[in-house]
Structure 1
Amino acid sequence: YHHGDLRQAMIDAAEAVLAEKGVDGFTLRECARRAGVSPAAPAHHFGNLVGLLTAVATLGFDELSDAMETAVAEAVSSGGDRLAAIADAYLATALARPGRFRVVFGRLGLKRGDDALMRAGLRAFGILVRETKLALGRHMTDDPLTRLPSSYSEDADLGAILFVWSLTHGFSTMLIDGQLGSFETLPGGRERLLKLYSQQLVQLLVSAVRQRRSDVGA
């Protein structure tokens, strides 16, 4: 391999193993075998299995962010429609690459202090924060795509942000784990379930906002 080729070959091999065997069948040796190199060869680029998984997770965050930004760009301008669009994108990304999705958010060890991984994760979460706040009618004075988790300690919208993320992530996990199989056989199939979810998410958030404003004005 020439410089740069081995790294990409290993990432491609990792993606293939994840797609075929999932995280439980993922080993550095198998990835190296598929890339056509010795088990020791990837050490220069990744160090070990954790390094390779971290590279895959970084790509996963980037893919998720790109999908959400594309969905927002194609949505109409209202905050609710934008939020529904990123929920749709989140679900679609999880379903398209369930193995990668499990690496990003799963139990496998990653280099949590890795700069690229941290930036990619902050960007993905920041998009969700931005769109949740827009749906709430908030005016933002900072860039949520670079905010650290510690900065949310006094954020009045943290509950709503975690609500949106938890519901969307949980629904994604249920889908890729096949826990909604019986519902996917109903008329409209999975596509209808996805649409129902994103619509209900926005309705719940909007209802909560209206209730909070009503309580404040009472």
Structure 2
Amino acid sequence: MAGAPARAAREHYHHGALREAMIAAAEAVLAERGLGGFTLRECARRAGVSPAAPAHHFGNLTGLLTAIATLGFEDLSNAMEAAVALAQAEGGSRLAAIARAYVETALSNPGRFRVVFGQRGMDRDDPAFRAAATRAFAILVREVRLSRGLPTSLAPGEKPAGQALAADLPDVLLAWSTVHGFSTLLIDGALDFLALEGGRQAFLDRQAARLFALLVSALATEAEPA
């Protein structure tokens, strides 16, 4: 009878929940061990299935990492769009709002965030991955342009390209580097020595608004005619 729960789990996953179970197990492994200790076998063990079972949904470890990264980009996009809507309703800075949303999304699931921007094997030609990544980047480009008082004609999910992207790239890189670097420093604990009271969240609450206001100001200043 000892094998009954495992068999029941396998039957359950066979009928549709394996994908979700594997992603949940993978993210638990990532949270505990990071990418260095991440294996398909361990993820399958945690999900209660055989090492061969995940092949139906993911093919291999690359497929699983790609699925997680796709979810990560979707998280970022959804959080940024929600932040834009709130900032618009409240009359706040849209760019500062998406910057805060980016950081909070990274902190809420650091394992997923590391996969999104990691260099470990991912299928960057996967259609779902490319669509999710393009959407997130397009939101950033759109909000950078709008913060500088420039029009944007990007349709939802459209990839910025060509001459327009080349002109915007320094500003996009400034915004992205600021929020991504701040997120990574917080996740890695590199700023813990500065957070004297209240921990990481309190530090974020104290410093984020000023940091992002400086970013918005820098882009607005750069946009002013000489």
TM over 0.5: yes
How many angstroms apart in 2 are the aligned matches of 1:5 and 1:136?
A: 46
Pair 1:66-2:78 in alignment: yes
Q: Superposed, which structure 2 residues align to 1:91-130 within 5 Å?
A: 91-130=103-142
Mapped contact 1:80–1:202 kept (Cα < 8 A): no
* Contact 2:96–2:212 (Cα < 8 Å) also in 1: yes
Question: What is the distance in 2 between the residues matched to 1:147 and 1:80?
Answer: 26
Correspondence for 1:192 among 177, 181, 206: 206
Q: Which runs of 5+ in 2 are unaligned?
A: 1-12
Matched, 1:181 2:195: no
2:59 counterpart letter in structure 1:
G
Q: Of residues 133, 143, 149 in structure 1, which corresponds to 2:145? A: 133
Partner of 2:48: 36
1:69-121 CA deviation, whole Å, 9 max, x = no partner? 11111113699700000000000011111111000001211001000000000
Note the alpha carbon deviations across 1:95-151, whole angstroms, 9 max, x for none.
111111000001211001000000000000011111111101111233263215x53
Is the contact made by 1:79 and 1:131 (CA closer than 8 Å) also made in structure 2?
no
Give 2:181's aligned amino acid.
Answer: G
Structure 2 contact 138–154 (Cα < 8 Å) conserved: no
Q: Secondary structure at the match of 2:14?
A: coil
C-alpha displacement of 1:162: 1.5
Q: CA deviation at 1:38?
A: 0.8
Does the CA-based 8 Å contact 1:83-1:131 persist in structure 2? yes
SS state at 1:66 partner: helix
- SS of the residue 2:15 aligns to: coil
* Superposed displacement of residue 24, structure 1: 1.8
Amino acid at match of 1:41: A
Matches within 5 A, 1:149-188: 150-151=161-162, 155-185=166-196
- State how far apart, in whole Å, the 2-side matches of 1:167 and 1:72 are: 18
Q: For the residues of structure 2 that align with 1:190 and 1:44, how far apart are their CA atoms?
A: 41
Asked if the contact 1:79/1:135 (under 8 Å) is kept, the reply is: no
Match of 2:218 among 181, 184, 204: 204
1:14 counterpart letter in structure 2: A
TM-aligned CA distance change 1:11 to 1:156, over 3 Å: same
Asked if 1 retains the 8 angstrom alpha-carbon contact of 2:137 and 2:159, the reply is no
Q: Name the CA shift for 1:163/1:79 in 2 (closer, same or farther; >3 Å).
A: farther
Inter-partner Cα distance in structure 2 for 1:153 and 1:140: 10
Segment of structure 1 superposing worse, 48-57 or 178-187: 178-187
Task: Give 1:204 deviation, angstroms.
Answer: 1.6
RMSD: 2.0
Please, which moves more after superposition, 72-81 or 103-112? 72-81
Contact 1:130 1:144 in 2 (8 A): no
Structure 1 CA distance for aligned equivalents of residues 108 and 15 of structure 2:
30
Is the 1:83–1:135 contact (alpha carbons within 8 Å) kept by the matching residues of 2? Answer: yes
Letter in 1 for 2:83: A
1:143 aligns with 155
Compared CA separation, residues 160 and 78, structure 1 to 2 (3 A): farther
Aligned pairs for 1:48-59 within 5 A:
48-59=60-71
Alpha-carbon offset, residue 21 of structure 1: 1.9
Q: Percent identity?
A: 57
> How far is the alpha carbon of 1:58 from its aligned partner?
0.2
The answer to whether 1:47 aligns with 2:59 is: yes
Deviation larger for 180-189 or 7-16 = 180-189
- The corresponding residue for 2:23 is 11
Q: Name the CA distance, whole Å, in 2 between partners of 1:24 and 1:93.
A: 22
Give TM-score scaled by structure 2 length. Answer: 0.86
Counterpart residue type for residue 111 of structure 2: G
